[in-house]
Every structure is written in C-alpha cells, then in structure tokens.
Amino acid sequence: MAIPAFIAYLQHEKKYAQHTLKAYESDLQSFAEFCADNYDDAAPEKAVYAQIRAWIVHLLDQGNRPKTINRKISSLRSYYKFLLKTQTITVSPLVEHQPLKTAKRVAVPFSPEEIAQVFDPALYPSGWKGILEKTLLMTLYYTGMRRAELIHLQTVSVDLKRGQLKVLGKRNKERLLPVLPELKVQLKQYQEAVAQLQLPKTPLYFHDATGQKLSEKFVYDTVKYYFNEVSSKTKKSPHMLRHSFATHLLDNGADLNAVKTLLGHASIAATQHYTQSSMQHLKSVYRKAHPRGNKS
C-alpha cells in the first residue's frame, strides 16, 4: 500500500502541517478499510470508480454531510494524482467524478459589539489563567492568525519594540503581522505573568503554567467558553475569530490584497470567501438606510 509514501511526500515535499497530514491519512485509511471489508482485491490503488461510489453511499448512510464527503474524496483525488506521478497507476478512477452538491452557507462572523464584550476584563479570572486566556483571544482576533500558527508562535518572533510578530504559516511561509497598541499592552502583561512563573526557557511564546505546549483543544475550548458568554451564534471557534478579523477589516474599507497578505493566503480567491460576509453586512446596512429599503 502506497499510503505511507504519499503521506511522507506531503510532509517532506509539500510541507503540509501535521493536522493536515492526519486528516489525509484518516480519510485514506477509512477508504482502505472499506475496500478491505467489502472487496477481495482490497488495495485502494487498484480501486475502480464503482467502489468509490459505493464508499460515498456508505458515508451518506452513516450520516456524513456532502461537504465532509467531498473533503474525503479530495484526499483520495490527491492520492491518485500522487500514484499517477509515481507511475503506480495510469489513470485515476476519479477522472469523471463530480463533487456532491452542498448548500451554500455564509458563516456569520462575530459582531464588533460581541468582540468588545468578550474582551471585558470582568469575564476573566484573576491570575495566570485569565491573562493567558484573554491574550490568546486577543492575539487571534487582532492578528487573524490561525490556531496552529498561534500554538507554534516562537518567543524570538515576538518583537514588541517594533510592534510586529513573525508567523510561520502553511508550507513554512513566513509573514509579518503588525501589533496594535491594545494588543501590545496585553502581550506585555502576558510576558510579565510568564516571568513570574520562573520557568525554564522555552522557545514557544504561548504555553501553560508548566511551560508545556498548548493543545489545539485548549485553544478551541477557550474561544468557545468565552464566546458562549457573549454570543448566541452557533459556530464559535478560533477560525471564526480569523473570519471576524478579515470581515471587519473589509467592512471598514481595507484593500482585499492587504487582507490577503495579513491572512497568509496563497491566492486572492481564498480571501474573497470573506467578502461574502462583508457583502451581507453591506446589504443589511443598505436596506436599513435606503428610503425604499424596507419596501421590498
């Protein structure tokens, strides 16, 4: 089975992040197990489209959403491209496949009012825990960085004198992010709290009270806990803070290319996704402000 070779290729050649590698591996192993359970010739690299279609039906029967299934098929498509590249196969069984139709839903970012409320000092406990958790939330919103980027942020990459952070993004691409005065004050407070812990030096800027790396779950749970206090929105995640960062910039007239650079997107198409929320806001303002807006 060529799956380990494919994962190694993604890791060393494509420089994919660890959580992305795990997602690819999980998707491919799921298909491999389905083939082993249902077909005599079980190797995924020998699969035909009928087997893949049967897997799709199986996934639907299990309650998977079309969006989730499309992501799994995308992993499989990338795998077959690798097999073509290495001349293991001569044609991809997915050559004629069309993605499942999905309902287009515009993610609703947090409002500026919700952001203001979640940074209310009264929400946070005193001491290390409150300082760490508030600093995490402020850093995510004020910079728009990804959760993985925050977790792996290096101490040497934080330069408060120059007012900038150096972030290592997807595929090891570095970018500089400005630090606004409000965030600078919070980061200084965090650094003072770290100094009081008197821990051995660690290269990681953010860590727990023992100096250990923060988990993805801890960051997610922190965002969810505090936004549950101020927001009734269904989706509360670190990515929604990134989404809010981009939407609020665009709502206030920021250039799309500038937002693209701040987010670390490889193409403008990825950034344009956030203009959907901005346009929804613009339409709402227009309808409320236009003298004929409430007639339709």
The DSSP-derived string for 177-229 is: EE--HHHHHHHHHHHHHHHHHTPPP-SBSS--TTSPPPPHHHHHHHHHHHHHH
**In a domain? residue 279:** yes
Known catalytic membership, residue 242: yes
| Domain presence at residue 90 | no
Please state, in angstroms and rounded to a whole number, the distance separating the CA atoms of residues 224 and 259. Answer: 25
Domain co-membership, 67 together with 120:
no
Looking at the structure of the chain, the number of domains it has is 2
pTM: 0.65
Mean pLDDT over each residue of the chain, to the nearest integer: 90
Tell me whether residue 9 is in a domain: yes
93 located within any domain: no
State which amino acid sits at residue 242. R
**Residue tagged active-site, from 80, 124, 205, 274:** 274
Task: Judge if 35 and 120 occupy the same domain.
Answer: no
Cα separation of 91 and 217, whole Å?
40
Do 121 and 235 reside in the same domain of the chain? yes
Is 101 inside any structural domain?
no
Q: What is the percent of the chain with per-residue pLDDT over 70, rounded to a whole number? A: 91
Residue 292 domain flag = no
**Of 35-44, 45-54, 157-166, the least confident:** 35-44
pLDDT confidence tier of residue 284, bands split at 50, 70 and 90: low
Write down the catalytic residue from 236, 242, 243, 248: 242
Identify whether residues 175 and 44 lie together within a single domain. no
Looking at the structure, tell me whether residues 69 and 142 fall in a common domain. Answer: no
Q: Does some domain include residue 247?
A: yes
Whether 77 sits among the annotated catalytic residues: the reply is no
pLDDT for position 59: 95
Say which amino acid occupies 243.
H
Is 265 catalytic? The answer is yes
Q: Which among 77, 207, 236, 265 is annotated as catalytic? A: 265
- Quick check: is 171 catalytic? no
> 79 and 225: one domain?
no
* 150-189: b (≥16 Cβ within 10 Å) or e: bbbbeeebbeeeeeebebbbbeeeeeebebeeebeebbee
d(CA 149, CA 214): 12
CA distance linking residue 206 with residue 180, whole number of Å? 18
Task: Please report, for the domain that includes residue 27, its CATH number.
Answer: 1.10.150
For residue 216, name the pLDDT band (cuts at 50, 70, 90): very high
Reply yes or no on whether 141 is catalytic.
Answer: no
Q: Are residue 41 and residue 167 in the same domain, yes or no? A: no
198 and 271 part of one domain: yes
Q: Which of 85, 104, 121 is the last residue of a domain?
A: 85
Q: Are residues 155 and 79 in the same domain?
A: no
Q: Which of 166, 224, 239, 281 is catalytic?
A: 239
Among the options 58, 81, 170, 184, which is catalytic? 170
The confidence score (pLDDT) of residue 294 equals: 55
Domain that holds residue 49: 3-85
Identify the active-site residue in 72, 77, 134, 146. Answer: 146
Residue among 222, 220, 194, 221 nearest 206 (CA): 194
What residues pair up with 177 in beta bridges, in sequence order?
165
Same domain, 213 and 257: yes
162 and 28 in one domain? no
**273 tagged catalytic:** no
User: Which CATH number goes with the domain that contains 272?
Assistant: 1.10.443.10
Residues 36 and 128 both lie in one domain: no
List, in sequence order, the alpha helices (H) in the chain: 3-12, 18-38, 49-61, 66-85, 112-118, 128-143, 147-151, 181-197, 216-230, 238-251, 256-263, 268-272, 275-289
